[in-house]
Amino acid sequence: MQPIGVFDSGVGGLSVLQALRRELPQERFVYVSDAGHAPYGERDVAYVLQRSLAIGDYLVRKHHARALVVACNTATAAAIATLRSAYPLLPIVGVEPALKPAAVRSHTGVVGVLATRGTLASGKFKALLQAQSSHARFVLQACDGLAAAIEHDDVTQIRALCTRYTAAMGSFGNAPGAIDTVVLGCTHYAFATHVFHELLGPEVALIEAGQPVAQRTHSLLAQKITYDAAAGVPNVGTGWVELWTTGAVATLQDAAERWLTGSGPAHYVELF
């Protein structure tokens, strides 16, 4: 059974993988954490593009992926158009900050966006922001170091950075002019939702991308009947996960055991 390839700069994409597994429990997934080259959000566009193409090629050539999920906002912004040009017949789904759903959900008309510096500076994000600018006022906050702190499960640093960045954005809540909806514009940030809830209170909604990405992937696969390359039969089977990393395998294994629920995944390491 040909797998769905999923990749991120580190462990943040496990939040998307978890949603994919809930949506598509019968599928096999191969997940690549590019921790040896992280953080993407503080790299230049050319570097992120090069890494994304290398991982995409690896997933297609070695694992015969029948779809790709770019489970990283920064990599989506930098590379998804090029990946789609390179593999025009392959379903490819990216992650982008959920500005439209947040604008629809907001009652005060003020939406906060927490993201990496690379995502906020990208042309793709600027176009998305422009398209929604008439529907809400967006308060943007680059969160340098937060993805790395989550990657290393540095609880003290996570709380300190979440506190610093939310304090810089202004007031939160249901009062006129306050931020009542916050977009988590990096897949890593989903693993800090409990901290954000404590800091911002129950009145503020947090919007992340995992479930919409999973639903979009399901929809694309439903439109395209794909076959196992070796056997020539439709892809059906029992769900299974392989986890690969360019960094320390123990880091990925620890993160998967904390955040990836369900049947126990297999853990591997390959440097490339």
Catalytic residues: 72, 186
Residue 39, preceding peptide bond in cis (omega within 30° of 0): yes
Q: For the chain, give the secondary structure using H, E and C.
A: CCCEEEEECCCCCHHHHHHHHHHCCCCEEEEEECHHHCCHHHCCHHHHHHHHHHHHHHHHHCCCCCEEEECCHHHHHHHHHHHHHHCCCCCEEECCCCHHHHHHHCCCCEEEEEECHHHHHCHHHHHHHHHHCCCCEEEEEECCCHHHHHHCCCHHHHHHHHHHHHHCCCCECCCCCCECEEEECCHHHHHHHHHHHHHHCCCCEEECCHHHHHHHHHHHHHHCCCECCCCCCECCCCCEEEEEECCCHHHHHHHHHHHCCCCCCEECCCCC
CB 9 within 8 A of CB 40: yes
Rounded Cα gap, residues 42 and 51, in angstroms: 14
Show the CA angle centred on residue 172, arms to residues 120 and 124, nearest 5°.
Answer: 15
Q: Hunting for tokens 């009062």 — which residue is that?
A: 175
